[in-house]
Amino acid sequence: MRIPSLHYGWIIALVGVATLFCCIGLARFGYTVLIPGMRQGLDLSYRAIGFIGAANFVGYLLAVAVAPTLIRTLRPRLTVSCGLMVIALSMFAIAGCDDGTLIGLIYCVTGIGTGLANIPTMTLTTQWFARKMRGRAAGLVICGNGLGIIFVGFAVPLCGELFAADGWRVSWRLLGLVSLLVALAALLLLRNDPQQQGLAPLGEELPRHPQPSASPALAETPAARAGNRRYLLRLGCLYLIYGATFMIYGTFIVTTMISEYHLDAKVAGAYWSWVGGFSLFSGLAFGTLSDRIGRRRGLLAVFVVQTLSYLLAASHWGTPALLLSIALYGLAVFAAPAIVTAAIGDRFQGSRVAGAFSNATFFFAFGQIVGPALAGMIGSDSAGFAPAYVVAAVLTALAGFGTFLLPSTRAGGCAPSCRTTAP
């Protein structure tokens, strides 16, 4: 009896999980758990903490601008590996800093590495999986975010217990070491194109007479070009709101638990790790759901869940409401990236996927810059972060209504005549 061989698309997905574990779970959400130790050790204000977080997203925004060019020049494998290497080296540098301004500059570099690792990873996912599996595959890769959150939720408080005032420095070094190892794994295991390996995307049959990858593009009509731009603008605006609101919550909820709910740092870290646990189902569940009911309805469901989460966080109705808020946040936190990735893969093909994904991510990154900076100012000027969570809830409610501006799609597909052929 012949045992079927494992399609290499699954290897790509697993390396993608490890990549997002580092570039999002550690490099971005690790900062959330490190804020209390850094704030105490360096005597940083909430305003400074907010702008350090914003600096990371400025770096991410810069990476979004150059990612399509680098992907074409270096190809995805080298781009991902270089991005992870930048993350690792910047983490080692932050561990040795004593100045908040310098940390902000270095954390900006970390953001550049995050963008250079994340964008080509998600682009590869759309190329290695067929459309009918694209939401599920993107959701699987995004599970790496949740695994990273779980890791930092336990590792950072443990380092604080073992190394006291130097715990945050040891934590950054630990995260840098893990990122360095994953960079080497990505360099060894990633492959740029299934056709170069003699494979079809997982879920499709290999054509009998495959077309060369450099085949000429079909002409794109002006109407189709205008429709694609309109689609990306609307999708990008929704992604901007998602980026701003989920990072308001993600940056300051641990601080809220400690300063407003008076929880111990270890307990707050454990509760934050719940976000990672619930988020393991986030991208996978909502991505698979969008394969069935369509991308627009999937995004609507995400924004409804997020709105409830932010309102509960602002309510101060006690620990049960806080825990329900954390659970809802975790269930939806990485759903939007999975759906957006799949939606772009549905509408575009080949090299245009990277450009379209970068354009949508530009909105996402800009939202991540505005969100933490705005919430940091609100937290400094008020008694807590409840007003910031209310603002986040209003924005996600508006985004829910905004999903009706997107074209209706067939389950697991895109609107008719929406596909764009690669150059």
> Per-domain residue ranges for the chain?
8-195+220-405
pLDDT of residue 215: 41
Superfamily name and number for 8-195+220-405:
MFS general substrate transporter like domains (1.20.1250.20)
Q: How many CA within 13 A on the CB side of residue 281?
A: 9
Tokens representing 257 are 């638990």
pLDDT of residue 417: 45
Residues in the chain: 423
Could you tell me the CA-to-CA distances from 30 to 35, 168, 272 in Å, in that order? Answer: 9, 10, 10
Q: How far apart are CA 81 and CA 99, in angstroms?
A: 29
Sign, CA dihedral 116-330-241-349, equals positive
**Burial state string for 292-321 with b = 16 or more CB within 10 A and e = fewer than 16:** ebbbbbbbbbbbbbbbbbbbbbbeeeeeee
Ranges under pLDDT 50 in the chain: 1-3, 212-218, 411-414, 416-417, 420-423
pLDDT of residue 276: 76
pLDDT of residue 209: 54
pLDDT of residue 205: 66
pLDDT of residue 214: 41
Tokens representing 35 are 């804020």
Please, what's the largest Cα pairwise distance for the chain? 70
pLDDT of residue 304: 95
255: nearest Cα among 20, 71, 14, 52:
52
394: nearest Cα among 332, 321, 303, 320:
303
Helix 222-259 × helix 386-402 angle, to 10°: 160
